[in-house]
């Protein structure tokens, strides 16, 4: 079977470099090209001396040149939609890990996928444990009236709260069918001390050097709390999910948001 050809965007970024390394390690994949905003180089050297691949600042030209099956995007919400438009126009399926896409951007990607009858995946978190954390939080949400989510990320993260925290809160509210109860402070000595409010769920964002990606979901009830915690201690934790999505997207003809449905399908 021919390896799956993949072009990676944002190639100078941390997640894109990790993705190129993961694609290089597995012979089922062919890291066929890389795109980086400002590069003037024509070739990029793969990790571990695995060779050179075509490199460009022009995604359209790259897709025409290498004709990949899939584009993996870990960039920035400002450019991910443009990159996805270019991918669809070239018949290439996007796997998007970029976080903080808004509803309008997701809706456009959904309609482009339908229009082109091409699969696409948007996954705010590719770590297996993070997906399981969300599923567990969804289950617990039906039994508690009070909940808070604390997410912890490295100090280079541009957006807050994290896409995973927002997706978790959304799943928890959907499972309950109503908002959580949020005790407000009578006096807030420092503005923002009670965190953002997502349907009664307090969303807290911690940013510190040394962290990668972590999240706690804490439920409170009479005389008890339940804490569900997940830690990505290395970016390599996202790679099995990325490779799973790259495989799965080839068999789709529409947009799937979140890795959970793909994971659960694989498990059944
Ligand atoms: N889904 C998940 O599991 C997961 C996990 C971790 C992170 N993320 C998300 O993935 C994204 C990237 O994270 P990261 O840690 O790799 O960030 P990063 O190291 O800052 O890399 C992002 C790269 O995107 C490109 N980029 C940024 N802004 C751009 C712009 N305005 N125009 C064009 N390209 C731009 C740049 O690459 P070039 O200059 O080479 O083009 C940059 O190096 C973020 O949204 C983050 O939240 C998702």
Query: For every residue of the chain, which 3-state class applies, written as one string?
Result: CCCEEEEECCCCCHHHHHHHHHHHHCCCEEEEEEECCCCCCCEEECHHHCCEEEEECCHHHHHHHHCCCEEEECCCHHHHHHHHHHHHHCCCEEEECCCCCCHHHHHHHHHHHHHHCCCEEECCCCCHHHHHHHHHHHHHCCCCCEEEEEEEECCCCCCCCCHHHHHHHHHHHHHHCCCCCCCCCCCCCCCCCCCEEECCEEEEEEECCCCCEEEEEEEEECCEEEEEEEEECCHHHHHHHHHHHHHHHCCCCCEEECCHHHHHHHHC
Nearest CA to ligand 1 atom 36: 10
Phi-psi group of 238: left, alpha or beta (phi > 0 → left; psi -120 to 50 → alpha; rest → beta): alpha
* 197-212 average pLDDT score: 97
Average pLDDT over residues 184-212: 95
Q: Which residues pair with 148 in a beta bridge?
A: 202, 218
Residues involved in catalysis: 153, 157
Check whether 268 has a pLDDT greater than 50: no
Question: Does the beta carbon of 132 lie inside 6 Å of ligand 1?
Answer: no
Report the pLDDT value the prediction gives residue 49, as an integer from 0 to 100: 85
Confidence of residue 88 (pLDDT cuts 50, 70, 90): very high
Is 84's pLDDT higher than 80?
A: yes
Please give the average per-residue pLDDT across 10-33, as a whole number. 97
The residue that leads in pLDDT, 163 or 3, is: 3
Atom of ligand 1 nearest to the CA of 37: 41
Please name the residue whose Cα sits nearest to atom 15 of ligand 1: 14
Mean pLDDT of all residues in the chain? 95
What tokens does 28 get? 């089922």
CA gap 4, 29 in Å, rounded: 5
| pTM for the predicted model, two decimal places | 0.90
10 lines ligand 1 (CB under 6 A): yes
| Best residue among 15, 99, 132, 242 to mutate for probing ligand 1, ranked by most atoms within 8 Å of CB | 15
Ligand 1 atom index nearest CA of 124 = 1
For residue 47, what pLDDT is reported?
85
Q: Is the CB–ligand 1 distance for residue 98 below 6 Å?
A: yes
Closest CA to 129 of 237, 244, 38: 237
Q: Is 240 in the pocket of ligand 1 (CB under 6 A)?
A: no
Task: Please work out whether the CB of residue 124 comes within 6 Å of at least one atom of ligand 1.
Answer: yes
Band (pLDDT 50/70/90 cuts) for residue 138 is: very high
Q: Which residues pair with 151 in a beta bridge?
A: 205, 215
Q: Cβ distance 81 to 108 under 8 Å?
A: yes
Whether 141 is in the pocket of ligand 1, judged by its Cβ within 6 Å, is no
With bands split at pLDDT 50, 70 and 90, how would you rate the model's confidence at 193?
Answer: very high
Of all residues in the chain, the percent with pLDDT exceeding 70 is: 99
Averaged pLDDT, 144-173:
95
Q: Which two tokens stand for residue 63?
A: 């897709």
Q: Which two tokens stand for residue 94?
A: 């996007």
pLDDT at 266: 56
| Residue 267 pLDDT > 60 | no
pLDDT value, residue 132: 93
* Ligand 1 centre distance from Cα of residue 3 (Å): 25
Q: What's the burial of 194, exposed, middle or buried (CB within 10 Å: 0-12/13-18/19+)?
A: middle
Ligand 1 centre distance from Cα of residue 119 (Å): 22
**Which of ligand 1's atoms lies nearest the C-alpha of 78?**
31
Residue-wise pLDDT for 209-265, tens only, equals 999 999 999 999 999 999 999 999 999 999 999 999 999 999 999 999 999 888 877
- Any atom of ligand 1 within 6 Å of the Cβ of 74: yes
Q: Could you give the CA distance from residue 145 to residue 141 in angstroms, rounded to a whole number?
A: 8
Ligand 1 atom closest to the CA of 241, numbered from 1: 3
């Amino acid at each position: 079977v021919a390896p799956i050809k993949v072009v990676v965007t944002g190639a100078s970024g941390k997640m894109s470099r990790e993705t190129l390394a993961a694609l290089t390690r597995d012979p089922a994949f062919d890291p066929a090209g890389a795109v980086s905003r400002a590069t003037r180089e024509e070739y990029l050297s793969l990790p571990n001396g695995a060779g050179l691949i075509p490199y460009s600042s022009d995604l359209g030209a790259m897709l025409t040149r290498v004709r990949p099956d899939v584009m993996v995007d870990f960039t920035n919400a400002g450019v991910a939609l443009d990159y996805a438009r270019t991918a669809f126009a070239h018949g290439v399926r996007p796997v998007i890990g970029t976080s903080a896409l808004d509803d309008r951007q997701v809706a456009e990607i959904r309609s482009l996928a339908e229009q082109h009858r091409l699969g696409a995946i948007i996954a705010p978190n590719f770590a297996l444990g993070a997906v399981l954390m969300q599923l567990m939080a969804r289950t617990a949400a039906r039994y508690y009236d009070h909940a808070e989510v604390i997410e912890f990320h490295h100090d280079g993260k541009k957006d807050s709260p994290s896409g995973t925290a927002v997706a978790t809160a959304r799943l928890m509210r959907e499972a309950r069918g109503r908002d959580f109860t949020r005790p407000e402070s009578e006096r807030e000595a420092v503005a923002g001390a009670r965190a953002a409010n997502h349907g009664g769920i307090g969303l807290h964002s911690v940013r510190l050097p040394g962290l990668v990606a972590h999240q706690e979901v804490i439920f409170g009830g009479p005389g008890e709390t339940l804490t569900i915690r997940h830690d990505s201690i290395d970016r390599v934790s996202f790679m099995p999910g990325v490779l799973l999505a790259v495989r799965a997207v080839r068999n789709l003809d529409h947009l799937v948001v979140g890795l959970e449905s793909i994971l659960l399908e694989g498990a059944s």
